[in-house]
Structure 1
Amino acid sequence: MSYLHIGQNAMLPEKRIIGIFDLDITSQSKRTREFLEKAEQEGVVVPVTEDIPKSFLVCDHPYHRQIVYISQLNTQTLQKRSRGE
């Protein structure tokens, strides 16, 4: 099983990752803002940064519908890491 380092000391199994999203671009959408607000209310948002967040990852979880991880890494860095670059 391969893992993706998403910042700080957080590693996620790649098979659980549904999507990697740029926070600046996607937060302009009303639907994305509503999705993130609802996830926050449900308690399924996990911040893995103390810095300015740049991306979020939506992941499948065996005990919840989805978990949202907030990362300080940009989407390009995360995608390169997932490809092993």
Structure 2
Amino acid sequence: MYIHIGEDLNIRAKDIISILDKESVNHSNLIEEFLQRHQAKLVNLSKSPFKSVIITYDKVYLSPIASGTLKKRSAQRNIQG
């Protein structure tokens, strides 16, 4: 199962470790430090301010799609397939 996370990118759902919303990122020093340490793995898919952060085994994505929307897409795919 794949989930569309922004731009033309789909990633495998089983590769996702965590999806964080923008508010969590903006209010957590720990997450901020994590993003700084993984700068080399960071992929910005958002042309405007990002709405969510998707952490996978290989990369960290800044997505223009809200975490709630990504959750719904994940749930829909589980029901269908």
Deviation of 1:8 (Å): 1.1
More helix per residue: 1 or 2? 2
Give the TM-score taking structure 2 as reference length: 0.87
SS of 1:21 mapped into structure 2? strand
Residue type at the aligned position of 2:45? V
Q: Within 5 Å, which residues of 2 pair with 1:1-85?
A: 2-40=1-39, 43-61=40-58, 67-84=59-76
Give the TM-score taking structure 1 as reference length: 0.84
- Distance in 2, Cα, partners of 1:5 & 1:24: 21
Q: Percent identity?
A: 31
Q: Mind listing any 5+ residue stretches in structure 2 that lack a counterpart?
A: none
Q: Which runs of 4+ in 1 moved over 6 A?
A: none
